[in-house]
Amino acid sequence: MSLGSLALNLMGVKEDDGHHEGFQIFHVEWSRVELPYVFFSWILITTFAKLGYNYLPLAKKLPESSIMILFGLLIGVFLFLVNISAVVLTPDIFFLILLPPIIMEAGYFMPNRLFFDQLGTILLMAVVGTIFNMFTIGFSLYGLGKAGFYGDDLKNIEYLEVLLFGSLIAAVDPVAVLAVFQEIKVNMVLRIIVFGESLLNDGVAVVLYHMFESFEEMGESAITPTDIVYGLISFIVVAGGGTVIGIIWGYVCALVTRLMKPVYLMEALIVISMAYMSYLTAEVFHMSGILAITFCGITMKNYVEKNISESSSITVRMGMHLLANVSEMTIFLFLGIVTIMNETHQWNSYFVLATIVCCCLWRVVGVFILSKLANMIRIQKINAIEQVICMYGGLRGGVAFALVLSLHSPNKNLFVTTTLAMIFFTVFFQGITIKPLVRLLRVKTRSATNVSMGERVTSRLMDLTKLGIGEIIGNTSEVPLIVRHMYKRVDKKFLSPLLLREKVQEPKFFQTFEYLLKEDALRGIQKTSDEHH
Amino acid sequence: MSLGSLALNLMGVKEDDGHHEGFQIFHVEWSRVELPYVFFSWILITTFAKLGYNYLPLAKKLPESSIMILFGLLIGVFLFLVNISAVVLTPDIFFLILLPPIIMEAGYFMPNRLFFDQLGTILLMAVVGTIFNMFTIGFSLYGLGKAGFYGDDLKNIEYLEVLLFGSLIAAVDPVAVLAVFQEIKVNMVLRIIVFGESLLNDGVAVVLYHMFESFEEMGESAITPTDIVYGLISFIVVAGGGTVIGIIWGYVCALVTRLMKPVYLMEALIVISMAYMSYLTAEVFHMSGILAITFCGITMKNYVEKNISESSSITVRMGMHLLANVSEMTIFLFLGIVTIMNETHQWNSYFVLATIVCCCLWRVVGVFILSKLANMIRIQKINAIEQVICMYGGLRGGVAFALVLSLHSPNKNLFVTTTLAMIFFTVFFQGITIKPLVRLLRVKTRSATNVSMGERVTSRLMDLTKLGIGEIIGNTSEVPLIVRHMYKRVDKKFLSPLLLREKVQEPKFFQTFEYLLKEDALRGIQKTSDEHH
């Protein structure tokens, strides 16, 4: 046998000379490992795209989400040129893999106190606002269609079909809001209202979407008043059911983590798995998975953080940040790729224009009216500038796209293209201009929100008392991680030698404590007077 | 409409009275979420089983792996009674999902110095030992068959088929070895030899298995000498290729983590993803994934640990421990379940007995001969007691089972049942008795291995010098995490006030340093004298 044929055989290439199929040294078997390989390749591609963004000098001026879409467009063009047809984004991949980690992180790190303080306004915006937007956008688009604005083809478009489209394009997207609001540092109250709205409107959006989907399948004539009553009841089922499922899983997880001491290694896994299970359980019953995982995170957090070990806690936090970050970037990357790869685009400039204008217009009107309503009851009013940012925060994103992909209506292709156009508009135009706008309007940003000296001293007193008591009893596990880290640098020199090294000496401890408080008070006064001058 | 039918409709149950299909409030859709739901349910079940084990008073006396098999048997009986046929363990699930995390952890936490010190002995055991075992077991079983020991049915069993079985049953299993050796605290050298063997024999096992698989397919008569030469070459390709792929991915990961500062959140994900990719890449080319991921871990570790942030490092470590732990437990759980669920068992007591006896006998002979060979060169000889533990450590586990499942030979059912019996024998009998045996033989355990006072002082000197220099230049990132943790409690009172709080004062630092060293030396002398009395 020649060297050449040996080499060929080594490469697993079979010769055609009728030689018997001998033992192959070198095999390639792609199909078996394809699924995990592709999955992890996407993770690496996303990470490298994010890394690339951070090294681009120009990039810092644009929001990350827009850059990821641009990277996605580039990858899409590349895949198109080499003629690879990769399925990158299906509704199931979006709703079962990419979305849950983002909402899980959002729920887990939700500032609970603030969220429940603002719950009234958030619910007003999420429920009334979304229903308002859906009907106004839907009927405006329908009216414009009847008037022949989109051309003759779409003159006879059914109102149920347009309302279905309205239901999916009306809701503000939590992923897009998170991506943009992370980068502009507006104050927490404004942020929680816009973000809370985008989370809680999911119940409404899912119900309206499924309602109009069923109605469209049934046909106009077959809808009875009972069906409409059922539609209203189903809102309670979907939103309430999702919330209840989330709270139950949250408490179960809180209980389970109490017992996990002997297998503390698994704590992080259990916390993340159970939160995800709450989402899946809600989805099984067609309830709002977003509400389930949000409330699961809100419910479990305080218990879990105290039950699990410190390294598990770091792993849970890092793991959630990490998964959410990758998913978020992957969604925008995929949106870019899908735009190029989708072969059934149907572009109608008038319809796209009408959609963008209607969405913006009714968002402005909706926020204006609802803020007026909310301000009747609110003590801390939503002022005009905050209303503008709130209007501007009505971003659309992956949720709308995943919903439009699962449509079965005759004008699906038109709707898909229009939804992409709307997402691009909000992510690029609104996403890029919101930062300058915030600066222009001098919106109260987070760092400028002064905590009064009294508050600062009191909260520090509480922290130090807890830390001090913890150190005396030799167990600081009740003291939040962040407090221990904050005071490690400053106070160790006072606390440590006195408390840890020798025997406990309370009088000395309280001396030190008093000294620290005085020092802090002085610093506070100094800082306040600095700021006034 | 009656209340009853409303309730039915609410439940999504359709009435059969010809009423039109109205709007459904309550849907159940299982198929869409089935895959992730089942996946995470298994994670929860495994965790609860492990938790249950830790609360069982009796359990502490049995190794965890045996308890997990028992739990698996219980679950299997339950599934059998309720008549659910769940596919729990396929070769792909084993090799692509369950095995990689375990080997990844093993490679990443490999004590590199010790491993390379012992590499000669390990390779001798892994390569020569496994080939020796395979042929001796194979031919013994074949001979017993020809002699009619298993009955007349198996008298005409082909020798290639038995050698194929021999190739999969000969290799020591890394997962079983890890599970048992974690619980008995033998000294590190002994441990690394047994465990190293179980890792590195994978190359041999894969090659021999695939070689005999091809030979069997080709038929006895068609095998040419060239095929056998190819078989030998393919050993170099499979083992060398796997190792090279692993090292390349390891260095790539080391390089990438150098650049990750701006996106430090993703560090943990990248490290774990890249290690897994090395495994998948090797598997694509039918090379040894186990060797790839082991050497990827060994290569990357030192670089990665220094490149990534502290919380990423904790997340990587916790993540790896966690994934490995869950996978390990799941494998044993599934082995238990599969034993009950498998409907094609073929039990032949004589064949089972012959397999167990041959495996044990040839293991004893193999280790005895190879130790003699190794001791010719070794300075620190493997003594008789260590040889016994080494023989005893020849456990079989999931790898053999996954390989036997992918067989296509006529006696597959017999081999599957026999492999399970062999696994049960090693996990239960050897796993349970190894602890008493270790105590009986007074094997040098880990804690009893004394480090000489000189070594202790020198290593502490090095650690403290690094820590001290780190604190002076204000950057301790070069100092391993473990060192920083170790000395935090003891030395902060000396180092911190002198170095961190005020300006750097070298003379004072060296005073402290000298003091610490003296103190340490004194403590060392005291400890040594304590031990002698």
Mean pLDDT of A156-171: 88
Q: Where does B91-341+350-441 sit in CATH, by number? A: 1.20.1530
Structure token digits, residue A47:
């990470």
pLDDT category at A364 given cuts 50, 70, 90 is: very high
Q: 3-state class of A445 per DSSP? A: strand
Q: What is the pTM of this model?
A: 0.76
Mark yes or no for CB contact A315/B312 under 8 Å: no
Instruction: Report DSSP letters for B295-343, one per residue.
Output: HHHHHHHHHHHHHS-HHHHHHHHHHHHHHHHHHHHHHHHHHHHHHHH-S
Mean pLDDT of A22-43: 80
Nearest to A337, CA basis, from A8, A79, A530: A79
Q: Model confidence over A417-459: pLDDT tens digits?
A: 999 999 999 999 988 888 888 888 877 665 545 556 666 667 6
Alpha-carbon A339 to chain mean position: 21
Q: Could you tell me if A34 lies within 8 Å of chain B, comparing CB atoms? A: no
Question: Helices B225-258 and B267-284 sit at what angle, rounded to 10 degrees?
Answer: 170
Structure-model confidence comparison of residues A135 and A216, the more confident one: A135
Say what the pLDDT of residue B276 is: 95
The answer, yes or no, to whether residue A465 has pLDDT greater than 80, is no
How many angstroms separate the CA of residue B347 from the nearest CA in chain A? Answer: 31
The answer, yes or no, to whether residue A1 has pLDDT greater than 70, is no
Q: Model confidence over A165-196: pLDDT tens digits?
A: 998 898 898 888 888 888 777 888 888 999 99
Mark yes or no for CB contact B274/A218 under 8 Å: no
Mark yes or no for CB contact B29/A237 under 8 Å: no
Per-window interface: A 192-231 vs B, CB < 8 A: 211, 214-215, 218, 222, 224, 226-227, 230-231
pLDDT category at A87 given cuts 50, 70, 90 is: low
CB pairs under 8 A between A and B: 216
> Which residues in chain B touch residue A284, judged by CB atoms under 8 angstroms apart?
28-30, 33, 37
- Closest alpha carbon within chain B to A24: B230
Sign of CA dihedral A475, A478, A479, A482: positive
| Tally of CA atoms within 13 A in the half-sphere of B49 that contains its CB | 29
Say what the pLDDT of residue B325 is: 87
Domain ranges of chain B: 3-61, 91-341+350-441, 455-483+505-532
Say what the pLDDT of residue B446 is: 58
- Does ipTM top 0.85? no
Say what the pLDDT of residue B11 is: 36
Contact B274, B296 (CB under 8 A): yes
The answer, yes or no, to whether residue A77 has pLDDT greater than 80, is yes
The answer, yes or no, to whether residue A350 has pLDDT greater than 70, is yes
Mark yes or no for CB contact B224/A259 under 8 Å: no
Q: Angle at Cα A381 formed by Cα A376 and Cα A382, nearest 5°?
A: 110
Sign of CA dihedral B326, B327, B329, B335: positive
CA distance A331 to A45: 12
Per-window interface: B 278-297 vs A, CB < 8 A: 280, 283-286
Structure token digits, residue B319:
């993540």
Per-window interface: B 84-103 vs A, CB < 8 A: 92, 96-97
Q: Model confidence over B359-390: pLDDT tens digits?
A: 999 999 999 999 999 998 888 888 888 899 89
Say what the pLDDT of residue B477 is: 60
Q: Could you tell me if B13 lies within 8 Å of chain A, comparing CB atoms? A: no
What are the angstrom distances between the C-alpha of B227 and each of A6, A11, A27, B232, B288?
11, 15, 15, 9, 20
Widest distance between CA atoms in chain B: 96
End-to-end CA distance of chain A: 92
The answer, yes or no, to whether residue A515 has pLDDT greater than 60, is no
Q: Could you tell me if A496 lies within 8 Å of chain B, comparing CB atoms? A: yes
End-to-end CA distance of chain B: 92
CA distance B195 to B183: 14
Mark yes or no for CB contact A273/B1 under 8 Å: no
> Which residues in chain B touch residue A500, judged by CB atoms under 8 angstroms apart?
489
Question: Helices B384-392 and B349-377 sit at what angle, rounded to 10 degrees?
Answer: 140
Q: Could you tell me if A343 lies within 8 Å of chain B, comparing CB atoms? A: no
Say what the pLDDT of residue B423 is: 94
Say what the pLDDT of residue A165 is: 92
What are the angstrom distances between the C-alpha of B182 and each of A361, B194, B303?
66, 12, 26
CA distance A319 to A365: 40
For tokens 């994900």, name the residue.
B269
Contact A44, B273 (CB under 8 A): yes
Q: Angle at Cα A42 formed by Cα A37 and Cα A45, nearest 5°?
A: 120
Say what the pLDDT of residue A336 is: 92
Sign of CA dihedral B129, B132, B135, B136: negative
CA distance B40 to A280: 10
Structure token digits, residue A390:
């709130």
Say what the pLDDT of residue B517 is: 58
The answer, yes or no, to whether residue A309 has pLDDT greater than 50, is yes
Q: Say which amino acid occupies A482.
A: I
Mark yes or no for CB contact B47/A277 under 8 Å: no
CA distance A352 to B360: 75
| Tally of CA atoms within 13 A in the half-sphere of A523 that contains its CB | 9
The answer, yes or no, to whether residue A485 has pLDDT greater than 60, is no
Structure token digits, residue B316:
């990587």
How many angstroms separate the CA of residue A277 from the nearest CA in chain B? Answer: 7
Instruction: Report DSSP letters for B187-255, one per residue.
Output: -HHHHHHHHHHHHHHHHHHHHHHHHHHHHHHH-GGG--HHHHHHHHHHHHHHHHHHHHHHHHHHHHHHH
Low-confidence ranges of chain B (pLDDT < 70): 1-25, 59, 86-87, 444-457, 459-460, 463-464, 471, 474-533
